[in-house]
Amino acid sequence: MSSTRLVPETRCMADEELSADDAWHTLRRHGGWHLLRDAFIRFRYGDGFSHSRALALQLCLAVVPFLIALAGLITDLGVESGGQVVADTVTALTPGASVEMVRELLTDDDRTEDVGEVALTLGMFTGLFALTTAMAQIERGANRIYGVERDRPALRKYVRAATLAVGAELPALAGFLVLVAGRAFGDSVQRHYAWGELANTVWNVVRWPLSLVLIVVAVAALFRYAPRRRQPGLSWLFFGAGLATALWWLASALLGVYVRVSDAFGQTYGALTGMMALLLWANLTGIALFLGLSFAAQLEALRVGSPDPAHPDRWEPDRDQPDRDRPDRDRPDGQRPVETTTP
């Protein structure tokens, strides 16, 4: 249950949308640390951790079919038509046991080709379905963080979720692939298509800002169109999207270093190491996303003069002490208990 305060819609207050300048002035006036603290309170009382775990499950259900679809794409392309480049990218994403599987997919026999087409088709459809449910989960979490109690009607909700899955989440996944497997992609193109050393160096530099732009724009679009309310302009939401992206980058980098350096992680989970790393990464991704959304919501709440992120705790009398025996000062609202008489 969410107990966050409803954020008033700023687009109902004036004809012009809020701009990045308004967000910057609001941020400077109220202070970054104060805003971060209240954003975390809004995240916590909006049940952000639970929504992050639910989103993590949906992301895992989407990532695995897309990897299967990439494996099917390897077979359809073949070695001569770019399949080796895709194969090297898949190997970078799923190292270890995937190397032998990728080699088998590059064989040019009829059975492998048929299996690859089935994997590509089913992987894409299954991944898009799981991604649509993930977008619906983002709407639910966003609504609770903004204090909106009900989601859109089912048909409108899932049509919008499918649109966001294609228009926002796929670019975000592309940014993730560029960030994580961009170096392997560039090295493979250089190795198989005589991509020069200069071009490879330029690609390794450009892929970082390219990934940043893709992810920030996609996250800002999610912030704009996922909640069931009239949101401010994208320029206003870029502050929350930037925070979510920065947190996601930091969490992903720290997790990657921990998985590579720590021997205990691999020894503990054995063959499930890759899956456990994926689960942890997806959970951290959800937390970063909803924390950035909470920051954007609290920034807008401060702009309209509603600084409290959550409702105060309700007063509950002790079971062993009746209301008439408790002093009035214990009541947070300052009201006196109602006196009742027995006729």
The answer to whether the CB of 240 falls within 8 A of the CB of 142 is no
Would residue 119 count as lying in a domain? yes
Q: What is the pLDDT of residue 140?
A: 94
Would residue 324 count as lying in a domain? no
Scored b (16 or more CB within 10 A) or e, 161-187 reads bbebbeebbbbbbebbbbbbbbebbbb
Residue with tokens 């105060």: 312
What angle separates helix 110-145 from helix 98-105, to the nearest 10 degrees?
Answer: 130
Would residue 203 count as lying in a domain? yes
Q: What is the pLDDT of residue 276?
A: 84
The answer to whether the CB of 130 falls within 8 A of the CB of 62 is yes
The dihedral through the CA atoms of 262, 268, 270, 274 has a sign that is negative
Would residue 340 count as lying in a domain? no
Count: domains in the chain: 1
Residue with tokens 């937390």: 287
Would residue 322 count as lying in a domain? no
The answer to whether the CB of 32 falls within 8 A of the CB of 295 is no
Q: What is the pLDDT of residue 91?
A: 67
Would residue 3 count as lying in a domain? no
DSSP classification of residue 147: T
Positions of the chain with pLDDT lower than 50, given as ranges: 14-15, 97-99, 318-343
Q: What is the pLDDT of residue 336?
A: 46
Q: What is the pLDDT of residue 149?
A: 87
Q: What pLDDT digit, counting tens, does each position of 192-206 carry? A: 777 778 888 888 889
Nearest to 326 by CA among 311, 313, 314, 316: 316
Would residue 240 count as lying in a domain? yes
Q: What pLDDT digit, counting tens, does each position of 139-191 carry? A: 999 999 999 989 999 999 999 999 999 888 888 888 888 888 788 778 877 77
Nearest to 157 by CA among 181, 184, 139: 139
The long-range contacts involving 125-132, CB below 8 angstroms and separated by at least 24 positions, are: 126/65, 126/68, 127/62, 127/63, 127/65, 127/66, 127/69, 128/162, 128/165, 128/166, 130/58, 130/61, 130/62, 130/65, 131/58, 131/62, 131/165, 131/169, 131/170, 132/158, 132/161, 132/162, 132/165
Separation of first and last alpha carbons in the chain: 40
Range(s) of the domain holding residue 303: 10-312
What percent of the chain stands above pLDDT 70? Answer: 73
Would residue 168 count as lying in a domain? yes
The two structure tokens encoding residue 7: 């954020």
Measured from the Cβ of residue 215, the count of other Cβ atoms closer than 10 Å reads 24
